[in-house]
Amino acid sequence: MAPQIIIRCDAGDAPEIGTGHIARSKTLANALVNSNSVTTQDICFFTRNDSGFQLGEKYLEGSDFNYQVFSNNKLKANSQSEIDILCNQDADLILLDRLETSAELIKALKSRNKKVVTFDDYGEGRIYADIAISSIFDDVPESKNLIKGYEYLILSQNNYCLSNINKNVQNIVVTFGGNDNRDICSHFLANVESIPQNISIKIILGKIDNKIYKSYLRKIESKKNRDNIEIFIFPENYHEIISNADIAVSTGGLSIFEFSAYGIPTIGIPQYEHQLRTIESLEGYGISILGSKGMELSNDKFLDAINSLISDNTLRKSMAFNAHNLIDGKGVHRVRDLLVKEFHEVFK
């Protein structure tokens, strides 16, 4: 039986791809199934495995969902081949999680009577979708189909509880996304000895070359606080690790919102320009501190931020409550209910 819903998303180490798109798409798919709105057989993921896009299949392996993997650039974003492939599916609803869709793609899908939803889409195709959900970017131009706000933010699990706020900092968790494109980890390690030796530091890595990984281990071994530093690669207990942090150091992707949902103050360092805008927005809400000079890595800015948070429990408490109140982790339920309501013919 042909799927009713196709979810088009990628993961990889290509610029501005990472793993967030596919992580939150899986969360939404699971929420739809768990609410009995559809079955797993009603959903199919379409993802690339070209160079730079080879993590999509890894994230979908072992899930209950069907998925199709395309090579030879057949699903290159907004290409004619992608348009042809998606238009020729029998699915009624197409969900597109990417930074930019083209007008040609969305118009073509609509001409085939497909219902289309885009997520955090800066592209020209956004205005032609049935619904455009912008949960992260607050600078997307207004349109009649736009649903905007952090309350629609989909994270990688369904529920988040406020973490304990310790008087003294015991744990710092560091993550630079599914792919550390700028090698921010080396920047962090260059400054790690400035962190008091009684604080545990856990570094979470995604896809990493073995030579780079070994270079990190050598750098850590040379540090005076080496015994308190651990590295994890794609840990299965990711949420257990991050929820026990007192302070987080993160890029401006999905992870910074995961920490915020747990009420964990963050220092944000961007991989990309759009992440810089995200961190600056969260800083304005009193949730995060920018640990760089714009896109320029800065030892002084990072050390000022980390020292402020370590020494000021009142500041950490304020940031924790601001974060958990703004990012409540319930966005997936709101998006699920919105889709079921708006596309009742698909979810009948």
Tokens of 238: 């990711």
The whole-model pTM stands at 0.86
Q: Do domains 5-155+329-342 and 171-326 have the same CATH topology?
A: yes
Residue 64's pLDDT is: 86
- 215-231: pLDDT as tens digits: 999 999 999 998 999 99
The CATH number of 171-326 is 3.40.50.2000
Strand order in the sheet with 200-205: 229-233, 200-205, 171-175, 247-250, 266-268, 288-290
Pairing verdict, β 131-134 and 115-119: parallel
User: Could you tell me how far CA 269 lies from the centroid of its own chain?
Assistant: 14
CA atoms of 241 and 163, how far apart (whole Å): 11
Sketch the domain layout of the chain as residue ranges: 5-155+329-342, 171-326
User: What is the signed CA dihedral for 169, 277, 180, 241, rounded to 10 degrees?
Assistant: 30
Residue 2's pLDDT is: 61
**Contacts for 133 with CB less than 8 Å, ≥ 6 apart:** 117, 118, 119, 120, 147, 148, 152, 335, 338
CATH 3.40.50.11190, applies to 5-155+329-342: yes
CA separation, residue 48 to residues 22, 58, 118, 169, 333 (Å): 11, 11, 18, 42, 27
Residue 53's pLDDT is: 79
Residue 268 has a CB neighbour count (10 Å cut-off) of 28
Tokens of 320: 């924790």
Residue 132 near residue 143, CB atoms below 8 Å: yes
Helix (H, G, I), strand (E, B) or coil at 248: strand
Residue 39 near residue 60, CB atoms below 8 Å: no
pLDDT tens digits in sequence order for the chain, 348 residues long: 566 999 999 887 766 677 778 888 999 999 999 999 899 999 999 999 888 777 778 888 888 899 999 988 899 999 999 999 999 999 999 999 998 999 999 999 999 999 999 999 999 999 999 999 999 888 888 999 999 999 999 988 777 888 888 999 999 999 997 778 889 999 999 999 999 999 999 999 987 888 999 999 999 999 999 899 999 998 889 999 999 999 999 999 889 999 999 999 999 999 989 899 999 999 999 999 999 999 999 999 999 999 999 999 999 999 999 998 899 889 999 999 999 999 988 886
Q: Which of 29, 9, 8 has its CA nearest to residue 19? A: 9
